[in-house]
């Protein structure tokens, strides 16, 4: 049976301030520059989620798109959209909301709620700006 990769794209807008608690104010300013602005700043994020699996002969699809949309909406978009990540989203209480950390956190959010029988989550792409995105290959088996 044929195995395909299916990629769906989701969008949310969120603000953040890049500020590492381990560093001094001057070091944060030097490292993050304008992204260290005390009142934060925002991005229109784009998240591309790739799953890999066999095509269901009955539906002709790897996964019903509505089911994937519902999972992303519940686990990510509804939690992140129009939020100040540092204050409004719990995982960023202790870590800086860089695109790198966001890709890992989004992966964990998806894995925690990954439905049984879903095709495997194999790749995430989190795009912060048109010039800046992070790719995360999901290596571990999703169970």
Partner 1 sequence: MRLYGAAANPNGHGHNYVLEVALEGTPDAVTGMIFDLKDLKDIMNREVIDPMDHRHLNYEVPPFDKVIPTTENLAIEIWGRLAPQFEGTPARLHAVRLYETEDTFVDYFGK
What positions carry a catalytic annotation? 35, 82, 128
The Cα–Cα gap between 5 and 22 comes to 40
State yes or no: residue 44 binds partner 1 (CB under 8 A).
no
Site string for partner 1, 68-97 (x = CB under 8 A): ------------------------------
Interface stretch with partner 1, choices 27-35, 59-67, 80-88, 103-111 (CB under 8 A): 59-67
State yes or no: residue 115 binds partner 1 (CB under 8 A).
no
Q: Which of 23, 55, 120, 136 binds partner 1 (CB under 8 A)?
A: 55
DSSP three-state, residue 87 = helix
Task: Write the DSSP symbol of residue 55.
Answer: P
DSSP three-state, residue 21 = coil
The Cα–Cα gap between 14 and 20 comes to 19
| Residue placing its CB nearer to partner 1 in the complex, 6 or 23 | 6
Kindly list the distances between the CA atom of residue 7 and the CA atoms of 18, 33, 59, 139, in Å, as whole numbers in the listed order: 29, 34, 17, 17
Residues that bind partner 1 (CB under 8 A): 2-9, 50, 55, 59-62, 64-66
């Amino acid at each position: 049976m044929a195995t395909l990769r299916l990629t769906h794209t989701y969008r949310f807008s969120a603000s953040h301030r890049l500020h590492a608690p381990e560093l001094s104010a001057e070091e944060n300013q030097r490292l993050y520059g304008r992204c260290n602005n005390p009142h934060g700043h925002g991005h229109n994020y784009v998240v591309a989620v790739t799953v890999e699996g066999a095509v269901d002969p009955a539906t002709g699809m790897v996964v019903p798109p509505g089911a994937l949309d519902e999972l992303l909406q519940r686990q990510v978009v509804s939690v992140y959209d129009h939020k100040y990540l540092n204050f409004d989203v719990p995982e960023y209480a202790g870590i800086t909301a860089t695109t790198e950390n966001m890709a890992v956190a989004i992966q964990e959010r998806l894995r925690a709620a990954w439905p049984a029988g879903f095709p495997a989550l194999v790749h995430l792409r989190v795009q912060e700006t048109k010039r800046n995105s992070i790719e995360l290959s999901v290596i571990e088996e999703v169970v």
